[in-house]
Amino acid sequence: MERKFKVLCSLMLVTFLAFSLHSGVAEVSAKTTELNYSIFFPATHGHTLLATEWAKEVEKRTNGAVKINMFPGATLTPADQTYDGVVKGIADIGMSVLSYTKGRFPMSEVIDLPLGYKSGVQATGLANAFYKQFNPKELSDVKIMYLHGHGPGIFHTKKPVKVMEDLKGMKIRCSGTSAKVVSALGATPVAMPQNEAYESLQKGVVDGLVSPIETLKGWKFAEVIKSTTQNFDSAYTLGFFVAMNKKKWDALPKDVQQTIEKINEEWIPKTGKAWDEFDKVGTEFTLAQGNQIIPLSKEENERWAKTVKPVLDEYVANMKQKGLPGGEALQFSLEWLGKNP
């Protein structure tokens, strides 16, 4: 009898352990949230690598509570549909350019204005300072991880541009607010996503583009242009977003959210510095291709800056019509840049 009792107890113990083990696996599995990240940069681009590093850091510091799968090269959502893709849950996380969705983010267009940006660190710092200061309602349907902006957006052309008049008749690839900059300076703006620009330059659909110099390496544009003009006083940037689907964010435990927020804060200066490093690489690459870099004289730079000022005035007027504090946003931005050269 005693022997039967021991056997019965042993069987019950084995059953209990098996059940506990199974439950433990299920419990661990239930705590892991898998998210898909859509990014339009090519798989080998520095920003895709940096975003992948961010994803791995999230997985590491949340102890595997969040696992992120990367989808580079616009394979999950096209660049101009990434924001809406995140809102709808097609992508759980997405990085793209705000101005690729024309008119959707009116207040945030202040970031893109030709404010005479000097670096990616500066542009990225302003983008996040603006967001924290104004918390624009237009970005409220997602959870913003962080924003960033590229280094000085300048002209890259097939023929040299030494003075403003050289732009006359040129068709220049651009997007969003930069189209107004191109138009103000006398060229013809041609709006198109970044990933269509190489072929358009190659086929002569456009004569040049405006972008940070990093694109000459990152997108190989140095192979299809001949000259870069350093119009720094009228340089613009593009506001980039990294956003998460709101429901997916809200479903995460508070401690996980706090960990991700800390990582986001670290990635703001890291991303700004990356833009500047990419600009250095782009400069070296285009010079190695035999292309020239033309610095504008102080007087010419000032002339370009004065010529694009109506773009700033137009932004303020448009925001006033919409009942948005565009004047405050522009003043804030100019003051912030003055304090953070």
pLDDT digits (tens, 9 = 90+) for 51-82: 999 999 999 999 999 999 999 999 999 999 99
The reply to whether 55 falls in a domain is yes
For residues 232 and 187, membership in a common domain is answered with yes
- Are 226 and 187 contained in the same domain? yes
**Diameter of the chain by CA atoms?**
105
Is there a domain that residue 130 lies in?
Answer: yes
| 189 and 128 in a common domain | no
288 and 274 fall within a common domain: no
- What single DSSP character describes residue 75? S
pLDDT of residue 15: 43
The domain that contains 218 carries what CATH number? Answer: 3.40.190.170
Residue at 318 is within a domain = no
Q: Which range of residues forms the domain containing residue 145?
A: 32-105+119-149+238-279
Give pLDDT, residue 102. 79
Q: Which residue has the tokens 């996503």?
A: 193
Q: What is the mean pLDDT of residues 89-96?
A: 98
- For residue 16, what pLDDT is reported? 44
d(CA 252, CA 33): 8
Number of independent structural domains in the chain? 2
Q: Residue range 234-253: average pLDDT? A: 97
- Is residue 164 one of the residues assigned to a domain? yes
Q: Are residues 48 and 96 in the same domain?
A: yes
| Structure token digits, residue 85 | 């893709």
Let me know whether 132 and 167 are in one domain: no
Whole-angstrom distance, CA of residue 271 vs CA of residue 120: 8
Residue 330 domain flag: no
Q: Are residues 190 and 226 in the same domain?
A: yes
**How much is the average pLDDT of 117-132?**
98
**Residue 244: which of 80, 123, 115, 88 has the closest Cα?**
88
Q: What is the pTM of this model?
A: 0.86
